[in-house]
Amino acid sequence: MKTPSLMPRKALSILGSSPAGDACYHEKSEPFLQIWGFPGGRLYRAGEGLRVTPATVESRSAVAAAHPQPASETASPTGAGSEHLRAGETASRIADYRELFKIRVTTMVVMTAWAGFYLGSMRSGISSVQPELLTALLGIGLVSAGSAALNECLERKLDARMLRTAQRPMATGRIGLAHGIILGLAAIIGGTLWLTHSTNLVTGTLTLITAFTYVAVYTPLKRRTTLATFIGAFPGAMPPLLGWTAARGLIEWPAVALFAILFVWQFPHFMAISWLYREDYGRAGIRMLPVVQPDGWSTVLEALTYAVLMIPVSLLPVYLHIAGHIYGAVAIVLGLMYLGYTIRFARITRARSAVESKMYARDLLKVSVVYLPVLLTVLMLNAAGK
């Protein structure tokens, strides 16, 4: 019997489970068609997180008898078949670590931190292309990856209940709890010490506080209150501020402006995500607005409030003289576009079907994913020097 091959990953993402984790980066479930077997004889449909059947696999010998392998693959444990098996296991393990550390989220964290470092260097009148840039981004990336790992450790049981996260390595047990905790703590501690030693104490301290807030405050609050989204937006907005302090050594108003841009941006983005996956969140007991108030009005109101705020907040760099008028014009256009799609998102309250309401949410999500990197890119290109 021919085993269906894996289809390519479909993912739209960025910046997540804090609104820089869930928010900054959103992950879709992976439409794998191949069926994988896991310990205990239970079979799961990878990517969808659905238990296909609790049937017990009677024995490996029975499976081997039903599906005999060519002699070339079974003759020797050191043969080509064994090599292919080891290569497959290595690739699978790498994929698990990529998921554990949420590499896409971490990459976005690093990129937004780079924007802060670049603008801070411009304010100092020096080039941002320097060894200190790589030093800062390495430390920030390590702490971000470690925080993501600890988040998955804490939420492994919740992830197992949600279709889009059920195949995460901690949820399935492919990575053990102790192993995940050790890796997460090592990355956070190592990254913090690296930043403190190689950049400055301010950046190291702020990065550690960010990790603590995300892991120890935001993550457990998700099961208790809808205010977790607001609280999670604080660590989610920190990366550009951390980049700025890595370049300048202190917190200044331009750094606060960068923080404010990411803070406000997250809410329409995350409201779209939470509406798309409200059934998942409800199944896991996570108190998101669309779960607690399913009519959608509170979700729309929160998204619209911050979409309106996004326009003046995005103009703060012009007011603070760290960006020119070209950036200002682009920020207004992008802000109006973001607001327009958020207004369109309000139609979820009178959509005729779940499919239609999810279409509005998905469109807002796509626009939010485009909005932030374009805004930051133009900001960097039109940055004002010292």
- pTM: predicted TM-score of the whole model, two decimal places: 0.79
The reply to whether 143 falls in a domain is yes
The reply to whether 89 falls in a domain is no
The reply to whether 248 falls in a domain is yes
* Residue 292 pLDDT greater than 80, yes or no: yes
The reply to whether 199 falls in a domain is yes
* Residue 357 pLDDT greater than 80, yes or no: yes
CA 5-84-182 angle, to 5 degrees, is 90
Output the pLDDT for position 89.
Answer: 80
Output the pLDDT for position 53.
Answer: 37
The reply to whether 61 falls in a domain is no
Instruction: Give the rounded percent of residues in the chain with a pLDDT score beyond 70.
Output: 78
**Mean pLDDT confidence for 15-26:** 42
CATH of the domain at 323: 1.10.600
Return the CA Rg of the chain.
23
How far is it, in rounded angstroms, from Cα 335 to Cα 229? Answer: 22
Among the ranges given (10-14, 211-215, 351-355, 363-367), the one the predictor scored with the smallest mean pLDDT: 10-14
As beta bridge partners, residue 257 has none
Output the pLDDT for position 385.
Answer: 74
**Mean pLDDT confidence for 319-339:** 97
Output the pLDDT for position 84.
Answer: 67
pLDDT digits (tens, 9 = 90+) for 46-93: 333 333 333 333 333 343 444 444 444 444 445 566 776 777 788 889
Residue 384 binned pLDDT confidence (cut-offs 50, 70, 90): confident
Q: Of 269, 291, 286, which Cα lies nearest the Cα of 338?
A: 269
The reply to whether 317 falls in a domain is yes
Output the pLDDT for position 126.
Answer: 86
Q: Of 195, 37, 217, 57, which Cα lies nearest the Cα of 113?
A: 195
Q: Of 339, 327, 340, which Cα lies nearest the Cα of 257?
A: 327
pLDDT digits (tens, 9 = 90+) for 257-287: 999 999 999 999 999 999 999 999 999 999 9
**Mean pLDDT confidence for 317-326:** 96
Output the pLDDT for position 370.
Answer: 98
Which is more confident, 94 or 45? Answer: 94
How far is it, in rounded angstroms, from Cα 109 to Cα 104? Answer: 9
The reply to whether 219 falls in a domain is yes
The reply to whether 47 falls in a domain is no
3-class state of residue 24 by DSSP: strand
Q: Of 104, 96, 111, which Cα lies nearest the Cα of 12?
A: 104
* Residue 308 pLDDT greater than 80, yes or no: yes
pLDDT digits (tens, 9 = 90+) for 193-244: 999 999 999 999 999 999 999 999 999 999 999 999 999 999 999 999 999 9
How far is it, in rounded angstroms, from Cα 367 to Cα 262? Answer: 15
46 with 32: CB under 8 angstroms?
Answer: yes
Output the pLDDT for position 386.
Answer: 60
Output the pLDDT for position 79.
Answer: 59
Q: How many domains does the chain have?
A: 1
**Residue range of the domain that includes 278:** 99-381
